[in-house]
Structure 1
């Protein structure tokens, strides 16, 4: 599916914006992940930067490399989950063209990051986890009736990942990974802000993220 480089997302109507939040599936609540490393999302520029940094990650061995690998693999699994979630939204038939373009663009960010994560796990001597079939996730597809429902579902996903990332920064033994996590946190927050704007809501609801 082709993406556009400069996609604008118009706010949905006030009625749609007033809909109750779609129920997030348990898997998307990052069970245990809000107190530990969070899911990863990656913008195009960040993907390039992290791709260049990957050799350093693999060469700089920490005292607990296995812990770092476990964190990365958990993040990779959640990244695959995000990719699947955006696929569900894209195939729902509920998204108007400009919004659909943005959803696909965000999915490409998640795909790029998953690729970097898998490569980093390998460079650290680990085995990357495999992607699961979309049907294996407990997505709340029965609650997705309008474009606003899909947007709220995605916004909840990105908000959870953003909040979770606050816990990942001090968790890595390899500090290069912590720096990378900080850049990814920024991308998650941008996704969340764009989705809130598309819903006609304040894209920056507070002075702090959490």
Structure 2
């Protein structure tokens, strides 16, 4: 399978947020914002961070839709993918509600074709390719949510981020198992 392009799942967090790579969200969270800046405009920063997470959920929903429509999945794998997509839809709804509680406007999804192009969907040739892409996205999302927790000023959303990180890690574990990946010998696996 072709490796995801380094520029996929990204957009700078300004104005109308589209998508952001999990790596980009982690970089945004990791020390690039001075402590003084984190103290000022806390609700606005939380809206921005939660919208970046919401963009990841939009991408995840689209990725599972692309996989479902690809014709490359066995019926059993398709059923699991649809279930994982439903989890991402719940995450989307919870994040959008959190953003609204902070007085922000939730990021909207892009057309599925844009996600397909960004994810390199045309290069997916079989079920294994699809599963490897899904695993890569789920691992990235897990790390992004773990990085989000200490960056949110509103501690009421720490549990939301932790729960979503747990779901993403579960998805990654299932996908890794299906792909017969070895169990990592060193912990922590995420973060």
Shorter-chain TM-score range: 0.7 to 0.9
- Residue 123 of structure 2 corresponds to residue 172 of structure 1: no
Q: Quote the offset at 1:115 in angstroms.
A: 0.9
Correspondent of 1:104 among 72, 75, 82: 82
Supply the distance in 1 between the matched residues of 2:167 and 2:183 (Cα, whole angstroms): 14
Counterpart residue number, 1:126: 104
Counterpart residue number, 2:8: 27
Supply the distance in 2 between the matched residues of 1:147 and 1:194 (Cα, whole angstroms): 15
* Consecutive unaligned residues in structure 1, runs of 5 or more: 1-20, 39-61
Q: Quote the offset at 1:98 in angstroms.
A: 0.7
Q: Deviation string for 1:53-104 (max 9, x for gaps)?
A: xxxxxxxxx9611111111111111210111011111111010011110011
Alignment of 1:65-104 (within 5 A): 65-104=43-82
Bigger RCO (CA 8 Å, 6+ sep): 1
Q: Quote the offset at 1:119 in angstroms.
A: 1.5
Counterpart residue number, 1:156: 136
- Residue 119 of structure 2 corresponds to residue 139 of structure 1: yes
Counterpart residue number, 1:9: none
**TM-score normalised per structure 1:** 0.73
Correspondent of 1:194 among 147, 168, 174: 174
Q: Quote the offset at 1:206 in angstroms.
A: 3.8
Q: Deviation string for 1:147-187 (max 9, x for gaps)?
A: 00000000000011112223111100011112221121111
Counterpart residue number, 1:56: none
- Taking only aligned residues, the RMSD between alpha carbons, in angstroms, comes to 2.0
| Compared CA separation, residues 161 and 147, structure 1 to 2 (3 A) | same
**Does the Cα contact within 8 Å between 2:99 and 2:106 map onto a contact in 1?**
yes
How many residues align? The count is 167
User: Which structure has greater helix proportion?
Assistant: 2
**Does the Cα contact within 8 Å between 2:23 and 2:140 map onto a contact in 1?**
no
- Residue 161 of structure 2 corresponds to residue 181 of structure 1: yes
Q: Deviation string for 1:9-62 (max 9, x for gaps)?
A: xxxxxxxxxxxx542243234352122359xxxxxxxxxxxxxxxxxxxxxxx9
Q: Quote the offset at 1:204 in angstroms.
A: 5.0
